[in-house]
């Protein structure tokens, strides 16, 4: 009988162990399902946050593009202003140099006119004797023409054309 009782006790404890294992597995499965649900909810929240972040990144990107465009426009405007200022300065300097060249050319022309006038006065003052000085008139004409050509070349040099 002891054997029978021992076998019954062993069977009961084996059945109880199976029931306990089954209950533990069910509890563990239930806990895993709860964790899965919790993880799914957390994933859902993360996905929503990711979408919000994507929108924020998109908004920030648009704002950055707008700021870059404004910066580019401002840089262009400053560049144009600087270019115009430099251009005006160069034009003013060129005008000053041109005025100096004109004044210098005018002084030189006045000087040449005076010299030409002196030469013509000297030529007019010379009394030509028709019989003895026939070769002097062509020589004087050549000298006047050469002086005039020299004057023209000088003016062209001053203007930078030669």
Q: Map residue 23 onto helix, strand or coil.
A: helix
Q: Higher pLDDT residue, 17 or 36?
A: 36
Q: How far apart are CA 131 and CA 124, in angstroms?
A: 18
Residue 154, class by beta-carbon neighbours within 10 Å (0-12 exposed, 13-18 middle, 19+ buried)?
Answer: middle
Q: How far apart are CA 33 and CA 36, in angstroms?
A: 5
What would the pLDDT profile of 50-77 be if each residue is shown by its tens digit?
888 888 889 999 999 999 899 999 999 9
Task: Give the Cβ contact number of residue 122 at 10 Å.
Answer: 10
> What's the confidence (pLDDT) of residue 31?
93
How many residues would you count in the chain? 162
What would the pLDDT profile of 73-122 be if each residue is shown by its tens digit?
999 999 999 999 999 999 999 999 999 989 988 898 888 888 888 888 88
Angstrom CA distances, 54 to 43, 57, 63, 78, 159, stand at 16, 5, 14, 36, 70
> What's the confidence (pLDDT) of residue 159?
82
Q: Give the chain's end-to-end CA distance (angstroms, integer).
A: 144
pLDDT above 60: residue 1 = no
Nearest to 19 by CA among 145, 11, 63, 90: 11
Beta carbons of 108 and 158 less than 8 angstroms apart: yes
Q: Is the pTM of this model over 0.85?
A: no
């Amino acid at each position: 009988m002891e054997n029978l009782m021992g076998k019954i006790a062993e069977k009961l404890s084996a059945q109880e162990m199976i029931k306990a294992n089954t209950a533990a597995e069910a509890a563990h499965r239930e806990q895993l399902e709860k964790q899965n649900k919790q993880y799914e909810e957390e994933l859902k929240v993360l996905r929503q946050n990711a979408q919000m972040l994507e929108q924020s990144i998109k908004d920030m990107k648009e704002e950055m593009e707008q700021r870059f465009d404004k910066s580019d426009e401002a840089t262009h405007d400053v560049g144009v202003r600087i270019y115009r200022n430099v251009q005006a300065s160069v034009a003013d300097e060129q005008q000053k140099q041109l005025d100096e060249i004109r004044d210098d050319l005018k002084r030189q022309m006045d000087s040449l006119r005076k010299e030409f006038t002196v030469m013509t006065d000297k030529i007019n003052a010379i009394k030509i004797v028709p019989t003895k000085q026939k070769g002097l008139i062509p020589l004087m004409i050549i000298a006047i023409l050469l002086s005039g050509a020299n004057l023209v070349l000088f003016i062209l040099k001053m203007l930078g054309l030669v």
